[in-house]
């Protein structure tokens, strides 16, 4: 799981750089772009970076929990953290085309990041050297 978070984090940071190039190529200087679309593109771009950094950070410090209930919390949290960056990448391309600034993918992705992080926190809370490397 540690390696998967690290690879996902690095991959998503590369995707962050590529979406920046995409914006620069298709929307140079954001001239003539609707304010809503500009806001959607830039915010989704930054959310992609956030998701990549969260996964990279979890991957760097990941220690598998020994107790079953802690491992289940950790595994569930990891699944949510791994899903979020891909939802955000899809949101980057899809949501700016929607009317009324809809957040059909971004909201679940951000909630997924929050819940996954909190599950990782809960899996390691108040333990007395129960973890293994």
pLDDT tens for each residue of 20-41: 999 888 878 777 778 888 888 8
Return the number of other C-beta atoms located less than 10 Å from residue 47's C-beta. Answer: 22
Report how far Cα 19 is from the mean position of its chain's Cα atoms. Answer: 14
Return the number of other C-beta atoms located less than 10 Å from residue 37's C-beta. Answer: 16
In a domain, 133, yes or no: no
In a domain, 132, yes or no: no
In a domain, 16, yes or no: yes
Burial class (CB in 10 A: 0-12, 13-18, 19+), 68: exposed
Contact 75, 68 (CB under 8 A): no
Instruction: Quote the number of domains for the chain.
Output: 1
pLDDT at 131 over 70: no
In a domain, 41, yes or no: yes
In a domain, 101, yes or no: yes
In a domain, 22, yes or no: yes
CA 101-118-1 angle, to 5 degrees, is 100
SS3 category, 63: coil
In a domain, 7, yes or no: yes
pLDDT band at 17, cuts 50/70/90? very high
In a domain, 55, yes or no: yes
Q: Which domain holds residue 81?
A: 2-124
**The two structure tokens encoding residue 28:** 């140079």
């Amino acid at each position: 799981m540690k390696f998967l978070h690290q690879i996902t984090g690095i991959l998503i940071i590369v995707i962050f750089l590529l979406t920046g190039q995409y914006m620069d190529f298709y929307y140079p200087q954001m001239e003539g772009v609707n304010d809503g679309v500009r806001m959607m593109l830039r915010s989704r771009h930054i959310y992609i970076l956030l998701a990549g950094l969260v996964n990279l950070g979890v991957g760097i410090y990941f220690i598998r929990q020994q107790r079953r209930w802690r491992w289940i919390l950790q595994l569930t949290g990891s699944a949510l953290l791994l899903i979020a960056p891909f939802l955000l990448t899809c949101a980057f391309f899809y949501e700016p085309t929607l009317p009324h600034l809809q957040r059909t993918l971004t909201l679940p992705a951000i909630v997924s990041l929050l819940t996954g992080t909190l599950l990782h926190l809960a899996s390691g809370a108040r333990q007395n050297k129960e973890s293994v490397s």
